[in-house]
């Protein structure tokens, strides 16, 4: 066995396994969650997919259009606005914050990547995604 130089640390990486759903791909016109492709707007949680999501445009997202997502009691809600970032109503973000829900608005590809990171951190996250 070789001696380790002073101050050198050994870091071991372990592969985490989880039964949670992850978003595997986001392409123009479709999103792949697990092994299933979706072509409509959808809501994704670590344990389920709700589709179609009845919202029509990111600027029109309201607590009512997010009803199914909010029923899942997320601590973080990601709103993916499609292929480009679209500002959501500032009042909506404030209303969610008053309920103790952190909301982040970004393009859908970024929301998909962020969702996966938060799922692997075992955070209570839900993503409401407009298809790209």
- The CATH number linked to 110 is 3.40.1230.10
In a domain, 7, yes or no: no
Written as tens digits, the pLDDT of the chain (132 aa) is 555 555 555 544 444 556 899 999 999 999 999 999 999 999 999 999 999 998 999 989 999 999 999 999 999 999 999 999 999 888 999 999 999 999 999 999 999 999 999 999 999 999 999 998
- Please state the pTM of the whole predicted model: 0.85
C-alpha distance from residue 125 to each of 12, 13, 70, 79 (Å)? 28, 25, 10, 11
Range of the domain at 97: 23-129
Q: What are phi and psi of 124, to 5 degrees?
A: -85, 85
Number of domains in the chain: 1
From the DSSP assignment, how many helices (H) and strands (E) are in the chain? 3, 8
Give the span between the Cα atoms of 26 and 72, in whole angstroms: 23
In a domain, 15, yes or no: no
In a domain, 11, yes or no: no
In a domain, 120, yes or no: yes
In a domain, 5, yes or no: no
């Amino acid at each position: 066995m070789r001696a380790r130089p002073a101050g050198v640390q050994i870091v071991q990486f372990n592969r985490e396994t989880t039964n949670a759903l992850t978003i595997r791909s986001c392409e123009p016109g479709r999103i792949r969650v697990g092994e299933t492709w979706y072509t409509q707007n959808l809501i994704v949680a670590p344990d389920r997919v709700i589709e179609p999501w009845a919202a029509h445009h990111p600027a029109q997202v309201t607590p009512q259009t997010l009803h199914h997502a909010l029923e899942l009691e997320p601590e973080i809600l990601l709103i993916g606005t499609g292929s480009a970032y679209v500002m959501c109503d500032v009042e909506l973000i404030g209303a969610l914050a008053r309920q103790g829900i952190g909301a982040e608005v970004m393009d859908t590809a970024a929301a998909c990547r962020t969702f996966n990171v938060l799922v692997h951190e075992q955070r209570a996250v839900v993503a409401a995604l407009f298809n790209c």
